[in-house]
Every structure is written in structure tokens, then in C-alpha cells.
């Protein structure tokens, strides 16, 4: 599915779930909602970082760049542990260690794990959601120590990203190519409804937009009445 269809579909799923969330949130609803909507829009596009020419990988961040970030993160963690006694003298060696470690690890991951980072590979599986959530949970303690509006924004974003991401996997499983939810295991889910960017998908895009409009009108009339 193309990025605009993913976003439209993601917003439709989000509209279905939103009332359940917002009723449970007593404070900072505006911040929570802002985080939620941004999260849905981004989350619906994130899985296509594994496509070399997708909108997300060209505009924001590519899978290759993400692997490099991961290598840097792991090397830094090791480096900080190893040089926990860092002072002016061995800071130089800490930097050398980080640079060399980064080069080696980055090379190692890209060569030996390349087959897992194909399009509609690991990022289009449940492992992608799990790994992403681990990273989303890391800064949580810091964020909860800030004023509560940040926690609301972040919390909304986490839910939004998860809904957007899940909607992306659901959307791709409608297409001929389908997804492999337990990648690298071969079990494929595909409803074989249409090909990405085909005429059928374009019709579906407008269908999702109309559904979004109907859902919105229904909410407005419920609130009003």
C-alpha cells in the first residue's frame, strides 16, 4: 500500500479506537490527542523504512541509517561501561573505541543480518512492533519526571504509533504481496485483494476517506445530540 492509503487507513482505525482512550483520560486531553494523532500518522508510515524508495525512508529516515544508529547506540553503551572511569586522559581512547567499535558492528550487522532487513521483512512483522516499543519505553522515566503535559503527549504518541503501525501491517496484508508476521518464518498473511498502487488501491483510498468522513460526522452528531 502507498503512504497516503496507509495514512488514510490508519486514521480510520484510530477514529474507531479514539473514544475508548479519551474517556479514560481525565487530564491533558489536548496534549494526549496531539501526541496520538502525530503518532498515528508517523506509525502508519514507519514500517516502510525498509523500502529503499518509500516516502518515509527518503524523507525521514532509512533502514540503513537506523541500523547505523543502532550500532552506534550499542557501541556507546559498551564504551561507557568499559570506560566508566573516563577522565580527560582516557576520553581519547573512549572515542577511538566508539569509532572502531561502530565500524566493526555496523559492518557485521549489515553483512550477516542483511537478509532480515529486506522489504516487508522484520520491520513488517510483530518483531518490528516489539523492538520499537522497547525503544519507546527507554526514555519513559525521564519523560515522567517532566511536567505532566509531556507525559500525556508521549503517552498519546506511543498509543498512536502502535495503532498506526498495526494498521500498516493490516493494510499490507490486504495486498497480493502480503506480510510475514513471524518473519523469517514463512507463514504469509495476504487477502490478495489488490496490488500496491493499483487502480483498486486508489479506489480504496477514496473509500477510506469517505469512511473517515462518515465516522467524523457520526461523532459530531452524537456529541451534538
| Chain contacts with Zn ion (rule: CB under 5 A) | 47-48, 172
Is the CB of 35 or the CB of 47 nearer to Zn ion? 47
Alpha carbon of 191 to those of 63, 170, 186: distances in Å?
27, 10, 16
Minimum CB–partner distance for residue 63 and Zn ion (Å): 12
Minimum CB–partner distance for residue 80 and Zn ion (Å): 35
Whether residue 1 contacts residue 171, with contact meaning beta carbons closer than 8 Å, is answered with yes
Is the CB of 47 or the CB of 101 nearer to Zn ion? 47
Minimum CB–partner distance for residue 111 and Zn ion (Å): 25
Alpha carbon of 82 to those of 79, 88, 93, 105, 107: distances in Å?
5, 15, 11, 16, 21
Rounded Cα distance between 4 and 205, Å, is: 8
Is the CB of 105 or the CB of 168 nearer to Zn ion? 168
Is the CB of 39 or the CB of 47 nearer to Zn ion? 47
User: Could you tell me how far CA 187 lies from the centroid of its own chain?
Assistant: 22
Cis ω for the linkage preceding 184 (within 30 of 0): yes
Using Cβ positions, the residue closest to Zn ion within the complex turns out to be 172
Is the CB of 47 or the CB of 160 nearer to Zn ion? 47
Minimum CB–partner distance for residue 177 and Zn ion (Å): 9
Minimum CB–partner distance for residue 13 and Zn ion (Å): 15
Alpha carbon of 11 to those of 56, 187, 208: distances in Å?
17, 28, 9
Alpha carbon of 224 to those of 25, 29, 216: distances in Å?
21, 19, 12
Amino acid at each position: 500500500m502507498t503512504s497516503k492509503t496507509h495514512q488514510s487507513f490508519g486514521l480510520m482505525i484510530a477514529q474507531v479506537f479514539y473514544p475508548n482512550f479519551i474517556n479514560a483520560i481525565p487530564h491533558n486531553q489536548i496534549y494526549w490527542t496531539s501526541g496520538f494523532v502525530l503518532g498515528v500518522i508517523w506509525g502508519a508510515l514507519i514500517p516502510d523504512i525498509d523500502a529503499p524508495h518509500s516516502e518515509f525512508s527518503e524523507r525521514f529516515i532509512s533502514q540503513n541509517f537506523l541500523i547505523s544508529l543502532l550500532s552506534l547506540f550499542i557501541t556507546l553503551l559498551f564504551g561507557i561501561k568499559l570506560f566508566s572511569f573516563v577522565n580527560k586522559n582516557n576520553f581519547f581512547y573512549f572515542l577511538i573505541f566508539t569509532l572502531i567499535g561502530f565500524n566493526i558492528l555496523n559492518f557485521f550487522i549489515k553483512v550477516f543480518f542483511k537478509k532480515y532487513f529486506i522489504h516487508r521483512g522484520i520491520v513488517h512483522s510483530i518483531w518490528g512492533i516489539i523492538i520499537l516499543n522497547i525503544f519507546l519505553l527507554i526514555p519513559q522515566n525521564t519523560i515522567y519526571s517532566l511536567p505532566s503535559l509531556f507525559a500525556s503527549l508521549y503517552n498519546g504518541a506511543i498509543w498512536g504509533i502502535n495503532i498506526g503501525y498495526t494498521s500498516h501491517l493490516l493494510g499490507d496484508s490486504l495486498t497480493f504481496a502480503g506480510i510475514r508476521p513471524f518473519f523469517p518464518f514463512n507463514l504469509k498473511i495476504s487477502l490478495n485483494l489488490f496490488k500496491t498502487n493499483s487502480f483498486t488501491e486508489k479506489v480504496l483510498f477514496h473509500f477510506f476517506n469517505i469512511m473517515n468522513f462518515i465516522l467524523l460526522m457520526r461523532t459530531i452528531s452524537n456529541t451534538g445530540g
